[in-house]
Chain A
Amino acid sequence: MRACVVGAGGLGGPMAIALADGGVEVTVLDGDVVELSNLHRQVHFTMADLGAPKATALAGRIGARARGLVERFTADRADALAGDADLLVDGSDDPATKFLVADWARARGRPYAIAAALRYGGNVFTGAGDAACYRCLFEEPPDDAPTCGDAGVLGPLVGWIGGVAAERALRLAAGDATVAGRIWVLDDLRRGGPRELAITRRPGCRCGS
């Protein structure tokens, strides 16, 4: 079993580490290098990693079950980067990549988990097979979504959300389809706990055409 982990940052780190701990081989993709502003939440890096590519630093931390590729997940490279993956998980920081990962996984019949965190909240969408897809819920990428660099993020939140994403991805990897077509949502931890919602397929969504 191999997972392609898109992003080696606050979400990708816990996801890749936890998937490897669960017995899954991981390919980690990230084109960025480790910066000091990452270290308040990216606990898989140390000051010795500053300036190093995130993908290879994370893979080195995990050991034999991981390989790191200093690349972004793009439409042109998706087949080459994820073709051998049984499962895709996304912890990238831009909506366009999340849609690309979800679309590619859905089209190739691979289960997937898409995780996001910002300020005091976040979400994890899990898809597989004919269940509702990421686009059934979100339709199109927003063109003005804030990032952690614009809006901030509470450090430990990424551990929580990355851990939830990994738990759910491991269930998908084990063939448990009961989490497919569902979203785990934490609106704002200052105002309440997480909720889980079942999403129904959206008539007219490209996944059904």
Chain B
Amino acid sequence: MTAFTGDQVRRYSRHVLLPDVGGTGQARLLRASAVVDGSGTTGRIAALFLVAAGVGTVFVDGPLEATVRAARFPLGPGDTGRGLAEALAGALGGLNPDVRVVIGPAPAGTPRVRVDADDADDLPLAQAFARGGAATSAFVHRLAVGEGA
């Protein structure tokens, strides 16, 4: 059983209160790896929620050669014109010190969140939140209860 730091107890308190998650489930999340199958609008939102939830290693695997044309959340205005990989690493990397963010492919067998069908760069953010949030909600619950994903 992992011992939580005081900051972790506060950060994850709303998870620790949940039936099915608790301290055991949050510790499982912190030890888990996951890969988001997409680097477009929905993939970025999905990755953001995995990082915030404390999934220990989050991979974002999608097309990365493009530069950012018009930065939208979670990218910021300063990201326009940057490489997408660099911008994504910046937007996701500083959120949670418990999480390692990797922009690129994951090892075979890493649990995958699939968002590719809804992952256009110009998808309205309302739909990206709804779809990215839905895809990661069930996924995080399965990881927390140790069902894989």
Contacts and interface: CB of A to CB of B under 8 A. Distances in A.
Interface residues on B, range: 35 or more
Interface residues on A, range: 35 or more
B18 A153 contact: yes
A37 interface: yes
A155 B53 contact: yes
Nearest to B130: A163
Interface in B120-149: 124-134, 136-141
A152 B21 contact: yes
6 contacts: A43-B74, A151-B17, A152-B15, A154-B21, A163-B128, A167-B130
Interface string A52-96: 000000000111000000000000000000000000000000000
Interface stretch (A17-25, A126-134, A200-208): A17-25
Interface of A: 14, 17-19, 21-22, 35-37, 39-44, 46-47, 61-63, 119-120, 148-164, 166-167, 170, 189-190
B49 A159 contact: yes
Contacts of A19: 126
B95 interface: yes
A103 to B, nearest CB: 25
Interface of B: 7, 10-21, 45-46, 48-54, 72-74, 77, 94-96, 124-134, 136-141
B15 to A, nearest CB: 6
Contacts of B134: 160
B12 A18 contact: no
Is chain A's binding surface mostly helix, strand, loop or mixed? helix
B14 A40 contact: yes
A162 B133 contact: yes
Given A47-B94, A63-B77, A159 B129 contact: yes
A155 B52 contact: yes
Given A22-B125, A41-B14, 6 more contacts: A17-B125, A149-B14, A159-B129, A162-B129, A163-B127, A170-B124
B49 A155 contact: yes
B133 A156 contact: yes
Contacts of B139: 156
B94 to A, nearest CB: 6
Contacts of A164: 130
Given A39-B11, A40-B52, A163-B130, A152 B74 contact: no
